[in-house]
Every structure is written in C-alpha cells, then in structure tokens.
Amino acid sequence: MLHIGIFDNIGQYFNYLFFLPPAARPFLIVLLMGIVLIVLSLKFEIPLIHWFLIHFERKEDYEVFPGKGAFFSVLGMFIVITLFSSQIAKASIMVLALGDSISYFVGIKFGKINHPLSKEKLIEGNITGGVVGAIGAAIFVPFPYALISSLSAMILEGVYLGPKLSKVADDNVTVPFITAIILYFLITYI
C-alpha cells in the first residue's frame, strides 16, 4: 500500500499534519489510536482486541504493554517514512517485515550458535533474517546495498544493550531504523 501510493492518498486528508510527509500521516493516526487502545486494554477486555492479545501477544507483555509488538512495528515504519526517502523507507520496512519475522522462527527451530553479543539471540536466525530481509529490500534498492544493510541491522539487532536499554530499544524500531541509516549512507556516498 505504501508502494502504490495509498498511504499518500489517505495522508492528503490530514492536511493539519502538514509537517509530516503525506505517507507518514496515517501511521501517526494509527499510533495515536494504538496508544488509546493500549491504555484501554490495560483496564478493560475489548472484545476483538482482547482475543488478538490473548492469542498473539507475548505473555510477558500482555499485562504490562498489550500490543507492544504491533505498536513498535508501526512506530518503526513511521520513523523511516518520516525521515528517509520512499525508496529507503520501503526497503527498511521489508527488512522488518520479512527479516525480523523469519529470524525468530529460524533461531528457535534451527539455531545452535549463540549471538556473540547477546544472551537471547541465535546467529542462524540473525543471518537468515538478514538474507531474507535483503531479498525483500532488493525490490527497492540494489541487492548489494540491501544485503549489507539488512545483515548489519539483523546482527546489530541481536546485540544485548543491558537490562534498561533493552526494554526501550525494541527491535521493531531498531531494525528498520538501522537499515535505513545504512542504506542512506550506501546510496548517498557509494
């Protein structure tokens, strides 16, 4: 939908958010609605939302930050759409959607080697996620750039930052942001 301009078209209706690119405006609205739903979900069982939270939310997040993964995914997309070119934003979102998703499953199912800088991540998941994310990102940027940025983001995503910073630095934000920064420098300077 981002690629074919649907978010740009929707964003045109939110002219009061003139300081944001049109494609980022719907993401801000979704983030604000998400905050309201998160607060309400802490106090009430909202029928459909409660079902999704029970079935898809991590147990450790359910009572403290329901919808954490979805919220930070939208936040990560909002940041890259706001700060970077459309080409870089789309590639970064592909790394988040494909690479970050597959890395968890591959790590759990096939992972044997611990990430050297992490207590929880497995290197097989990070590498697989980096390659799969690069394949998706290569739709929008040259494959060598996609591979370098995707692998770098997935490897850096696994770095343990300590107990306090790890709670703040969610990988659904860091993966697209790191990917976008690296792509920006590769596209601009190489």
- Give the model confidence (pLDDT) of 68-100 as tens digits: 889 999 999 999 999 999 999 999 999 999 998
**167 has a pLDDT exceeding 70:** no
Summarize the confidence of residues 21-50 as an average pLDDT. Answer: 93
pTM as predicted: 0.89
Q: Tell me: do 64 and 34 sit in the same domain.
A: yes
Query: Are 73 and 91 contained in the same domain?
Result: no
- Looking at the DSSP bridge assignments, the partners of residue 122 are 114
Domain span holding position 17 = 1-83
Strand partners, 114: 122
Residue after which a domain boundary falls, among 24, 59, 83: 83
Average pLDDT over residues 15-34: 93
Q: Write down which residue in 83, 118, 150 finishes a domain.
A: 83
The pLDDT tens digits for 125-166 are: 899 999 999 999 999 999 999 999 999 999 888 776 666 665
Which of 96-110, 114-128, 174-188 shows the lowest per-residue confidence on average (mean pLDDT)? 114-128
Instruction: Choose between 61 and 91: higher pLDDT.
Output: 91
Q: Domain tally for the chain?
A: 2
Q: What is the pLDDT of residue 55?
A: 87
User: What is residue 120's DSSP assignment?
Assistant: S
Per-residue pLDDT, 111: 77
Q: How many helices (H) and strands (E) does the chain have?
A: 11, 0
**Mean pLDDT over all residues of the chain?**
89
Q: Label each residue of 4-67 as H, E or C.
A: CCHHHHHHCCCHHHCCCCCCCHHHHHHHHHHHHHHHHHHHCCCHHHHHHHHHHCCHHHHCCCCC
Torsion sign (Cα): 27, 29, 35, 36: negative
Query: Does 181 lie in the same domain as 131?
Result: yes
Mean pLDDT of 23-46: 94
Helix (H, G, I), strand (E, B) or coil at 179: helix
**Residues 76 and 61 occupy one common structural domain:** yes
Q: pLDDT above 90 covers what percent of the chain?
A: 54
Residue 122's nearest CA partner among 134, 133, 136, 108 is 108
Q: Enter the DSSP assignment of 102.
A: H
